[in-house]
């Protein structure tokens, strides 16, 4: 790898840049070009040494940068993927690997197939599972992906060499890499990530809209803090994820509504044994998961 172009130099894009720079002794000489909508954040990325050059997404320099890139990484909010792929396509060298870091993969893959067309086999979608409660390049870290999972979502058309290059790219950032179809990815993350985000947003909104919200927040403590941490996440990003993964997320919401109705019935019936059984199953599963993870 000699030249990497990164669309969106925020927490994720910036951390990839820093991780690759850290791995440079192994990877050899490397030039990282950042592309973004916001000149101020590109200037910040340049000043922090995260990127070697910053170009505006509508500039002529972008054409040159794209033409000889080894890897193009899209690390912008997922709703921008189509526009970015369209801007890449006219300049896409047939040796360039295109990958992304979006939280949903079915919609991104559909964009790549339609927009990159006969060059779609150069694209492999990716999702780094790394915390993102802070955002912006100022929060970027070379170690963000170390030991974390990155899920790649190749298709039957993806060539083995392309997948190997995408795998190597993320391995160079320190990540563990696994592969699965985009649809399977989206179903899994609807359950373990997207649904919990929506549930946390809903709880905080429910409380914030009340006349006595200040009093309620005044007595909220550590359990509330942890439960609602993800409700502090980026609204635009989560709007995009929700819409992009609509079908799987609606299924999850329906399943959760069923579970909640069951719990409510147990409580209405004062079924202590039933409540304790549900809480015990959850508590055992949660603590077993936690013991394994940490």
Return the range that interacts with a copy of itself (CB under 8 A); candidates 47-55, 81-89, 163-171, 198-206: 198-206
What is the closest distance, in whole angstroms, from the C-beta atom of residue 156 to a copy of itself in the complex? Answer: 21
Q: Of 3-11, 59-67, 165-173, 259-267, which part binds a copy of itself (CB under 8 A)?
A: 259-267
Comparing CB distances to a copy of itself, the nearer of 69 and 204 is 204
Least distance from a copy of itself to the Cβ atom of residue 153, Å = 13
Q: Which stretch binds a copy of itself (CB under 8 A): 15-23, 62-70, 158-166, 274-282?
A: 274-282
Q: Which of 56, 135, 225, 248 binds a copy of itself (CB under 8 A)?
A: 225
Q: Is 151 in the site for a copy of itself (CB under 8 A)?
A: yes
Q: What is the 3-state secondary structure (H, E, C) of the chain?
A: CCEEEEECCCHHHHHHHHHHHHCHHHHCCCEEEEEECCHHHHHHHHHCCCCCEEEECCCHHHHHHHHCCCEEEECCCHHHHHHHHHHHHHHCCCCCEEEECCCCCHHHHHHHHHHHHHHHHHEEEEEECCCCCCCCHHHCCCCCCCCCEEEEECCCCCCHHHHHHHHHHHHHCCCEEEECCHHHHHHHHHHHHHHHHHHHHHHHHHHHCCCCHHHHHHHCCHHHHHHCHHHHCCHHHHHHHHHHCHHHHHHHHHHHHHHHHHHHHHHHCCCHHHHHHHHHHHHHHHHHHHHHHC
Q: Are strands 97-100 and 123-128 parallel, antiparallel or unpaired?
A: parallel
Q: Which is nearer to a copy of itself, 49 or 276 (CB)?
A: 276
The answer to whether residue 234 forms part of the interface with a copy of itself (CB under 8 A) is: yes
Please report whether residue 259 would count as binding a copy of itself according to CB under 8 A: yes
Instruction: Give yes or no for residue 32 binding a copy of itself (CB under 8 A).
Output: no
Residue 256 interacting with a copy of itself (CB under 8 A): yes
**Which 40-99 residues touch a copy of itself, going by CB under 8 A?**
none
Which C-beta is closer to a copy of itself: that of 157 or that of 276? 276
Q: How many residues bind a copy of itself (CB under 8 A)?
A: 83
Tokens of 173: 């950032």
Task: Determine the interface stretch with a copy of itself among 60-68, 115-123, 159-167, 229-237 (rule: CB under 8 A).
Answer: 229-237
Residue 227 binds to a copy of itself (criterion: CB under 8 A): yes
């Amino acid at each position: 790898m000699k030249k990497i172009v990164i669309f969106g130099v925020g927490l994720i894009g910036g951390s990839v840049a820093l991780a690759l720079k850290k791995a440079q002794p192994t990877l050899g000489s490397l030039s990282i070009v950042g592309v973004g909508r916001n000149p101020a954040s590109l200037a910040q990325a340049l000043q922090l040494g995260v990127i070697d050059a910053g170009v505006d997404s509508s500039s002529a320099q972008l054409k040159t940068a794209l033409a000889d890139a080894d890897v193009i990484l899209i690390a912008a909010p997922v709703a921008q993927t189509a526009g970015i792929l369209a801007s890449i396509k006219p300049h896409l060298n047939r040796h360039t690997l295109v990958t992304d870091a979006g939280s949903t993969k079915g919609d991104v893959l559909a964009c790549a197939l339609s927009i990159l067309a006969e060059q779609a086999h150069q694209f492999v979608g990716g999702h780094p599972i790394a915390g993102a409660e802070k955002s912006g390049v100022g929060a970027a870290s070379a170690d963000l992906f170390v030991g974390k999972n990155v899920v790649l979502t190749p298709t039957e058309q993806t060539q083995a060499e392309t997948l190997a290059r995408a795998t190597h790219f993320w391995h160079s950032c320190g990540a563990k890499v696994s592969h699965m179809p985009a649809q399977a990815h989206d179903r899994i993350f609807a359950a373990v990530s997207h649904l919990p985000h929506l549930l946390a947003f809903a709880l905080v909104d429910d409380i914030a809209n009340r006349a006595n919200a200040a009093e309620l927040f005044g007595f909220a403590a550590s359990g509330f803090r942890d439960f609602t941490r993800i409700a502090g996440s980026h609204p635009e990003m989560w709007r995009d994820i929700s819409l992009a993964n609509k079908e799987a997320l609606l299924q999850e919401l329906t399943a959760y509504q069923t579970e909640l109705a069951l719990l409510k019935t147990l409580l209405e019936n004062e079924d202590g044994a039933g409540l304790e059984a549900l809480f015990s199953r959850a508590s055992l599963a949660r603590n077993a998961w936690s013991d394994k993870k940490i």
